[in-house]
């Protein structure tokens, strides 16, 4: 069941993937233009910019999680699914995670290219931070996407709801990324990583437990 959902998501995600990736690329250009060519100044803000890019692209992709079901009148199909509806959540979450991670990887490479970063050495550490942060983001995002699917101003409400909730995650990931890019070991930001891990657990647990309630009716 979950696998089927996943495959379905994969087929659709091609268009989403392209759009989100292109959006991320545009953001990169915008950052350059808005912040000027001063390399020194840019360097300090890089972790923040990177995650801003991830999050803004993610908003775009996550918001569309349930669009297909809604537009094609498949919503009832979702509701009538026998058994634990949380499986749908997990399936969608997995799909979203994959989407976001792919986009983030490409964006990271581009970032490294444009801003001339030495990423090879810190890649494993960076990967850990990005993975932890993305799970937190996708977990709540998938849940909220389901909730806002039927709301009037869906495109407005989704980011409005998601961003405040993700504020601590953003703080943690940026601080951790900052340290990693400076070459510090992961241990130095252990507290941030623990926070992210805790957030991951909490968000996924809440998502799994409450998704049934979201899909009713």
Q: Which residues bind other proteins (CB under 8 A)?
A: 140, 143, 147-148, 150-153, 157, 160-161, 163-165, 167-169, 171-172, 175, 191-192, 195, 198-199, 202-203, 206, 210, 213-214, 216-217
What is the residue whose two structure tokens read 């806002």?
148
For the bound state, the minimum distance from the C-beta of residue 188 to other proteins, rounded and expressed in Å, comes to 11
CB-neighbour burial class of residue 153 (10 A; exposed 0-12, middle 13-18, buried 19+): exposed
For the bound state, the minimum distance from the C-beta of residue 24 to other proteins, rounded and expressed in Å, comes to 25
For the bound state, the minimum distance from the C-beta of residue 170 to other proteins, rounded and expressed in Å, comes to 9
What end-to-end distance do the CA atoms of the chain give, in Å? Answer: 21
For the bound state, the minimum distance from the C-beta of residue 38 to other proteins, rounded and expressed in Å, comes to 24
21/192 with CB nearer other proteins: 192
14/152 with CB nearer other proteins: 152
20/189 with CB nearer other proteins: 189
127: enclosing H helix or E strand = helix 123-148
Joined tokens for residue 137: 């983001």
For the bound state, the minimum distance from the C-beta of residue 173 to other proteins, rounded and expressed in Å, comes to 10
CB-neighbour burial class of residue 65 (10 A; exposed 0-12, middle 13-18, buried 19+): buried
9/169 with CB nearer other proteins: 169
Whole-angstrom distance, CA of residue 16 vs CA of residue 135 = 19
103/145 with CB nearer other proteins: 145
Whole-angstrom distance, CA of residue 182 vs CA of residue 185 = 9
């Amino acid at each position: 069941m979950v696998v089927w959902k996943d495959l379905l998501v994969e087929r659709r995600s091609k268009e989403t993937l392209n759009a989100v990736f292109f959006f991320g690329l545009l953001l990169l250009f915008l950052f350059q233009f808005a912040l000027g060519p001063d390399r020194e100044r840019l360097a300090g803000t890089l972790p923040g910019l990177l995650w801003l890019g991830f999050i803004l692209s993610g908003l775009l992709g996550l918001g569309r999680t349930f669009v297909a079901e809604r537009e094609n009148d498949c919503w009832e199909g979702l509701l009538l699914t026998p058994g634990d509806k949380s499986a749908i959540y997990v399936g969608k979450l997995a799909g979203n995670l994959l989407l976001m991670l792919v986009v983030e990887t490409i964006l990271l490479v581009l970032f490294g290219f444009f801003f001339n970063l030495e990423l090879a050495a810190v890649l494993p550490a960076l990967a850990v931070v990005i993975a932890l942060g993305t799970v937190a983001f996708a977990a709540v995002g998938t849940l909220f996407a389901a909730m806002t699917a039927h709301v009037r101003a869906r495109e407005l409400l989704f980011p409005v709801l998601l961003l405040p909730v993700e504020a601590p995650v953003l703080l943690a990931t940026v601080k951790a990324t900052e340290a990693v890019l400076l070459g510090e070991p992961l241990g130095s930001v252990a507290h941030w990583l623990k926070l992210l891990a805790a957030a991951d657990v909490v968000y996924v647990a809440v998502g799994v437990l409450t998704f049934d309630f979201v899909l009713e009716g």
